Amino acid sequence: MNFIRKIYLVLVIVALISFAGGYVDANEKAKFNINTASAKELLKLSQIGEKKAEAIVAYRDEHGPFAKIEDITKVKGIGGKIFEKIKDHITVE
């Protein structure tokens, strides 16, 4: 009986690790449309805090939609370093 418990425990641990790995991959593949995302949604991006998220929305409201993802660097406070960290997680489509 003790052997069966060990096998069960190992299976549970493997299942949890598999689930956690899938969750991370799903988040890494998520893309946020910077033309439609709310400030709250933009907070999920690395390096984007409340002020920068609000600045993105304000810039978009004032200047219209971003034509390409690189245009996000026109927002005050978002330079090349931040763009490099978020470019794989944003879209304009």
The CATH code of the domain that includes 62 is 1.10.150.280
CA 49 to chain centre: 12
One domain, residues 4 and 48:
no
Per-residue confidence (pLDDT) for residue 16, from 0 to 100: 64
One domain, residues 40 and 59:
yes
Nearest to 56 by CA among 70, 37, 31, 30: 37
Taking the model in full, what pTM does it have? 0.69
Asked if residues 18 and 39 have their Cβ atoms less than 8 Å apart, the reply is no
One domain, residues 22 and 38:
no
One domain, residues 44 and 88:
yes
One domain, residues 62 and 84:
yes
Start-to-end Cα distance in the chain: 56
One domain, residues 80 and 44:
yes
Total number of domains in the chain: 2
What is d(CA 89, CA 45) in angstroms, rounded to the nearest whole number?
Answer: 7
Long-range interactions of 60-63: CB distance < 8 A, separation 24+ = 60/34, 60/35
Mean pLDDT by 10 residues, the chain (93 residues): 72 67 53 95 93 96 96 95 94 93
CB atoms within 10 A of CB 37: 20
Q: Tell me the residue range of the domain where 42 lies.
A: 31-93
One domain, residues 38 and 82:
yes
Per-residue confidence (pLDDT) for residue 4, from 0 to 100: 77
